[in-house]
């Protein structure tokens, strides 16, 4: 990593920085609307209003509404990866697995619209781009590692595990939003789903 030590100043691209900041503003506004009215329950005009623009100006940053959804998809998985990487790995493998399961289910349950976009295939006509889809695979690798360390290294247990956690999240969101009726079952569920030793 010689860059960190190099004396040569990095030439900042102020134009690119400004553009990235605007893109972030638009994404935040879109997430907020999705949270309030559902993933599809808002027109682009409301995004524009939220960031103080007119609708056509949004097209400078996103080619279409689907393109905005694609950016949200990528953004969501980046956030999940961050959250996963920030999760402490100390303690027994079983403890780490429990911790990771809570992190995941909480991540899903705290934003139903994001859960829908990232894990359910429910948006009519939307397919993530190749680049965005590639991002979606990274958190899965992390989960597989943690699960394997706790004795669930086989493919079937991994699939069982993802089904279980998305199922807990989905039930929590659909049938007890804001509560913990399914979240409180996470540890029990994880323990039962591991292969008998």
Partner DNA sequence: GTCTATAAATGGATAGAC
Partner DNA sequence: GTCTATCCATTTATAGAC
DSSP letters, 54-107, are: -HHHHTTT-SSHHHHHHHHHHHHHHHHHHHHHTS---S-HHHHHHHHHHHHHHH
Neighbours of 16 (CB within 10 A): 9
Q: What residues numbered 154-183 form the site for a second copy, per CB under 8 A? A: 156, 159-160, 162-168, 170-171, 173-174, 181-182
Using CA atoms, how far apart are residues 81 and 88, in angstroms rounded to an integer? 13
Nearer to a second copy, 38 or 91 (CB): 38
Least Å from the CB of residue 78 to a second copy:
20
Indicate whether 37 belongs to the interface with DNA (CB under 7 A).
no
Nearer to a second copy, 41 or 153 (CB): 41
Q: 3-state class of 25 per DSSP?
A: helix
Q: What residues numbered 106-165 form the site for a second copy, per CB under 8 A? A: 112, 116, 119-122, 124-125, 156, 159-160, 162-165
Residues 6+ apart with CB under 8 A from 66: 125, 126
Total residue count of the chain as it appears in this document: 197
Neighbours of 31 (CB within 10 A): 18
Using CA atoms, how far apart are residues 146 and 176, in angstroms rounded to an integer? 28
Stretch that binds DNA, among 50-58, 108-116, 139-147, 152-160 (CB under 7 A): 50-58
* 171 touches, from a second copy, DNA, none (C-beta below 5 to 8 Å by class): a second copy
- Contact code string over 51-90 relative to DNA, x by CB under 7 A: -xxxxxx-xxx-xxxx------------------------
Indicate whether 17 belongs to the interface with DNA (CB under 7 A).
no
Cβ atoms of 110 and 164 within 8 Å: the answer is no
- Contact code string over 19-38 relative to a second copy, x by CB under 8 A: ------------------xx
Residues that bind a second copy (CB under 8 A): 37-41, 112, 116, 119-122, 124-125, 156, 159-160, 162-168, 170-171, 173-174, 181-182, 185, 188-189, 192-196
């Amino acid at each position: 990593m010689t860059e960190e030590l190099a004396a040569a100043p990095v030439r900042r691209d102020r134009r690119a920085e400004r553009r990235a900041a605007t893109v972030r503003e638009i994404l935040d506004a879109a997430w907020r609307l999705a949270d309030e009215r559902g993933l599809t329950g808002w027109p682009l005009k409301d995004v524009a209003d939220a960031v103080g623009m007119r609708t056509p100006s949004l097209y400078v940053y996103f080619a279409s509404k689907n393109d905005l959804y694609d950016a949200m998809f990528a953004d969501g998985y980046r956030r999940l990866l961050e959250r996963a990487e920030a999760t402490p790995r100390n303690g027994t493998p079983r403890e780490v697995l429990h911790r990771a399961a809570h992190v995941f289910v909480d991540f899903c349950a705290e934003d139903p619209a994001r859960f829908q976009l990232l894990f359910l295939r429910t948006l009519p006509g939307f397919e993530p781009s190749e680049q965005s889809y590639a991002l979606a695979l990274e958190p899965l690798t992390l989960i597989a590692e943690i699960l394997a360390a706790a004795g669930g290294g086989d493919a079937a247990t991994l699939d069982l595990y993802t089904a279980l956690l998305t199922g807990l999240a989905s039930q929590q969101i659909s049938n007890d939003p804001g509560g913990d009726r399914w979240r409180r079952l996470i540890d029990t569920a994880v323990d039962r789903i591991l292969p008998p030793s």
